[in-house]
Amino acid sequence: MPGLACSSAPPTPHAARGRDFTMSFASARPLRPDRPPDRRARLYRFGALFGAGFRRWSTYRQAALAGLFTNVVFGVMIYSLLRALADDGRRPGGYDTTQLATYVWVGQGILSVVHVWSWNELADRVRSGDVTADLLRPIDPFEAFLAADLGRAAYAVLARMVVPILAGGLMFTLYIPHRLHTVPLFVLSLTLGTVLSFALRYLVNLGAFWLLDARGLSAVWLLASGVFAGTFFPLRFLPEWAQAVLWFGTPFPGLFQIPLDVLVERPGPAQQIGSVVLQLVWVAILIPLVSRVQRAATDRLVIQGG
């Protein structure tokens, strides 16, 4: 910084110049009563954080490529297994072969959109103490992280979802939806699935405020989201009682199984819409829950010290 070095210490405060300079820093109206930002400002803020999440992930192109390769390989493997179950005209879980192909290939595509894997960003920030920077901002950390995660998901739609679907479409016959509302309903359901997944991942991370190390919790999450959301196999392969427990007792089918069932039109039209309503109900339950746990977590932090 050659130019700056010249004006180096000891600085003799240049009153007039200094005043002129700082006027633009200090707020113009001293000690004004702060109003919370209006709806437009909040929307703009959410959009900006969303965009940041999108761009942030778009910088890791090689990781996206490697992930794509894995998706395609796993797509072939899983579909071959499931296809064997559907031999002789059988319909495992009530799916025909095109529905199964779509379940598998679109499933590979939305895996990284919904992001059912582990996510430790918040827990890491708690452990390193960087979380204080999040608390020192005039925004609810959950809102800020959610916006960024939805941005990440939007990037994943482009980078991780399109290719597996095309690959699957080239190799196998996919199911083409018949109902008009299916595609928009799928988009909504996928968005809700992402929000649900994020809320659960965030909840797991909040555990770090108590445990400091959320890796144990994270492992439990990883197993639960894998098995109970339907990423390893469609939940409809399970006995009915187990399905009932999972659908109505846990939010997990909402992450993965519901968006895919909506797309392949596995349930009738009423049930198709009903399952999206179920996702909405889980969102309505989880978001206030996350808020409460977050408040307890911050209280704990601010009382006991980081």
Partner 1 sequence: MIDTATETMIETDTMIEVRDLRKEFTIKRKIGRVRRETRTVSAVDGVELSIARGEMVGYIGPNGAGKSTTLKMMTGILTPTSGHIRVCGLEPVPRRRRLARRIGVVFGQRSQLWWDLPLRESFRLLGAVYTVPRAEHEARLKRCRAMLELDEFMDTPVRQLSLGQRMRGEITAALLHGPDVLFLDEPTIGLDVVSKQSLRAFLAEIGAGGEVTTVLTTHDLADIEHLCRRLIVIDRGCVVHDGTLEALHARYGSRRRVVVDLDEAREPDVRMPGVAVEGVEADGRRITFALDGVPAGELIARIARDGGLRDVSVREPTIEEVVARLYRQ
Residues that bind partner 1 (CB under 8 A): 1, 3-5, 7-11, 13-15, 17-28, 30-31, 34, 37, 41-42, 44-45, 47-49, 52, 55-56, 59, 129-130, 132-133, 135-140, 144, 301-306
Question: How near is the Cβ of 26 to partner 1 at its closest, in Å?
Answer: 3
CB of 101 to partner 1, least distance (A): 36
| Residue (58 or 98) nearer to partner 1, CB | 58
Q: Is the CB of 96 or the CB of 121 nearer to partner 1?
A: 121
Q: Least distance from C-beta 300 to partner 1, angstroms?
A: 10
- Shortest CB 306 distance to partner 1, Å: 7
Task: Give the residue with the Cβ less far from partner 1, 181 or 300.
Answer: 300
Q: Output 19 or 292, the one with its CB closest to partner 1.
A: 19
To the nearest whole angstrom, how small is the minimum distance from the Cβ of residue 66 to partner 1? Answer: 18
The minimum distance between CB 109 and partner 1, in angstroms, equals 24
Q: Which is nearer to partner 1, 9 or 270 (CB)?
A: 9
Dihedral angle sign, alpha carbons of residues 283, 289, 295, 300 = negative
Q: How far is the CB of 36 from partner 1 (least distance, A)?
A: 8
Q: Which of 260, 74, 105 has its CA nearest to residue 172?
A: 105
Q: Which is nearer to partner 1, 46 or 175 (CB)?
A: 46
Nearer to partner 1, 135 or 289 (CB): 135
